[in-house]
Amino acid sequence: MSLLVVYNTCGLTGRENSDHYINNINTILNQDFDDYKVVFSGCLIQRETFEKVYSTFGKKISYYLTNEKLAVNQSFNHAVLKGIEEYGEFDGYVYVASDVRFSDDRSALAKLNDRILDSQNGIVYPEIDHDNGYYWWFDYPEDKNIWEVFGRETDFIVPVGKTANLHCAVFSNKIVRAYGRPLPDIFVSYCSESSFSFLAAAVKQRFIIANDVLCHHGMNQGTHHQLDGQTQVFGAAWDLVYPGAKSVQDLISSEEAITSGFGHEEWAANPRHNAPADKPYLVHDASRFDENGFSVSQELETFIKENLFLSPSILNYSNIEHRFFREAN
């Protein structure tokens, strides 16, 4: 099977958002592509919400539900692991935030699939219209957009140490095999994306933004986002980590981080962005990467696996209480 698409929701805000969920999931199901499974992931959602979603889609899709106190990093990872248990491995695992919908281009999912089938690619983003973070990370004039600056002739290869905000992404099976899960799960709020170029480079794959796939962030009402507040289970702030995990400051101050070539939140080194004085960041050592942007040693992969992914002593995924309802086919 090629793609496992996980649509991620959280009921922490107490809002009844099922109408939005249904509309957004329909944009996934309307794609002209057959080789994929869709999982509705509901963390701490209300019974009423689930019943409305289920009454609409029934067994056309699968459902992952948990009432554990988890941020989206952990709930998405667990939904992926359960999907693999049910269906076997996929070529790619698609993260879709609850406030994201696919455009009217019904070939979008097939185009993303084509990218992840290319063994060079480890993380594939569609273009995101709002709150994409491009200006912060790629350092161009704020009145421009990424394609005006770099051209749309080819996909944009995200340089090592750069990233973009996470709203929709495909993670390769190679990344999941290497780390055991797609999303670094020490993070429980912002900053997960800062690690993505390193996740890919460590396993000798690229992080790209597709030049011909657009997803909408929000309800086409300005820059509306955070439909569910999925990052707020533990509070919303930079560099928050799962309880019991090593702090980001300790992590990036370690000799292993520095010598492996790891970097964190490198936008903060740019004086134009006026980062707070106490903002932790680490600029990666470029000499630790080859001309393709790939890590030159095993150190980076080892560092990431041991430090950005929680050990079972902190969070044992096998012990998370949940229910998984498999689709009919």
What does the pLDDT look like over 147-176, one tens digit per residue?
999 999 999 999 999 999 999 999 999 999
Which domain does 294 fall in, by range?
A: 3-322
In a domain? residue 158: yes
- Whether the pLDDT of residue 223 is over 50: the answer is no
In a domain? residue 329: no
In a domain? residue 147: yes
In a domain? residue 9: yes
Average pLDDT over residues 7-17: 90
- Whether the pLDDT of residue 204 is over 50: the answer is yes
Quote the pLDDT of residue 229. Answer: 67
Quote the pLDDT of residue 45. Answer: 93
Q: Which two tokens stand for residue 156?
A: 């944009």
Residue 219 banded pLDDT, cuts 50, 70, 90: low
- Of 218-227, 264-273, 298-307, 309-318, the range with the lowest mean pLDDT is 218-227
What does the pLDDT look like over 115-135, one tens digit per residue?
999 999 999 999 999 889 999
User: How many separate domains does the chain show?
Assistant: 1
Average pLDDT over residues 244-267: 97
The enclosing domain of 313 has a CATH number of 3.90.550.10
Let me know: does 185 contact 315? Beta carbons within 8 Å: yes
DSSP secondary structure letter of residue 179: H
Average pLDDT over residues 41-49: 94
- Whether the pLDDT of residue 225 is over 60: the answer is no
Q: Which helix (H) or strand (E) holds 62?
A: strand 62-66
Q: Which helix (H) or strand (E) holds 307?
A: helix 299-307
In a domain? residue 328: no
Residue 224 banded pLDDT, cuts 50, 70, 90: very low
> Structure pTM?
0.96
- Whether the pLDDT of residue 203 is over 90: the answer is yes
In a domain? residue 120: yes
Cα 180 to Cα 185: distance, rounded to the nearest angstrom: 11
Cβ atoms within 10 Å, residue 136 = 17
In a domain? residue 82: yes
